[in-house]
């Protein structure tokens, strides 16, 4: 059981894999879940658009698509992240690329842990969970 990272047709982002993995494990444990196999695939806008069209019948770009293969309390999934959209979002929201990337990465984990973001209340809960997780990240990056 592991969290893995790969890049497809794009430069690999500068993340601290070991610290990021420990952080994610901590967030997953907070939700009473266990780690199964989680694979992050960093890609470009064209790849995520293709996935969005093929699997979700959506014809638009997005920053993240998570495929959930979880089984009871063991979370597993493939998480596709468009680094191009993360960059444009960081510029739009006036945050650093690293902060936006970590927010999107933990957003995928939170989805696998069972959080949703369809209704207004769910979106508020998701944002609160993201902020809490980002505060936790500081401890892991300073190790």
pLDDT tier, 143 (very low <50, low <70, confident <90, very high otherwise): low
**What is the per-residue pLDDT across 39-48, written as a single tens digit (0 to 9) for each?**
999 999 999 9
The tens digit of pLDDT for each residue in 78-106 reads 999 999 999 999 999 999 999 999 999 99
Largest CA distance in the chain: 42
Can you name the CATH fold of 2-138? Collagenase (Catalytic Domain) (3.40.390)
Cα separations in angstroms, 90 against 8, 93, 102, 107: 21, 5, 11, 15
pTM over 0.85? The answer is yes
Domains in the chain: boundaries: 2-138
Q: Which residues contact 19 (CB under 8 A, 6 or more apart)?
A: 140, 141, 143
Q: Reply yes or no on whether the pLDDT at 17 is more than 70.
A: yes
């Amino acid at each position: 059981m592991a969290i893995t990272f790969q890049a497809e047709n794009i430069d690999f982002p500068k993340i601290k894999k070991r610290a990021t993995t420990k952080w994610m494990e901590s967030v997953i444990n907070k939700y009473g879940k266990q780690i199964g196999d989680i694979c992050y695939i960093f890609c470009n806008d064209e790849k995520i658009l293709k996935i969005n069209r093929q699997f979700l019948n959506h014809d638009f770009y997005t920053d993240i698509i998570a495929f959930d293969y979880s089984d009871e309390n063991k979370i597993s999934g493939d998480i596709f992240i468009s680094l191009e959209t993360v960059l444009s979002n960081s510029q739009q929201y006036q945050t650093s690329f690293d902060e936006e990337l970590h927010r999107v990465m933990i957003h995928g984990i939170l989805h696998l842990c069972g959080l949703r973001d369809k209704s207004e209340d769910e979106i508020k809960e998701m944002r609160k969970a993201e902020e809490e997780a980002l505060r936790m990240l500081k401890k892991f990056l300073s190790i």
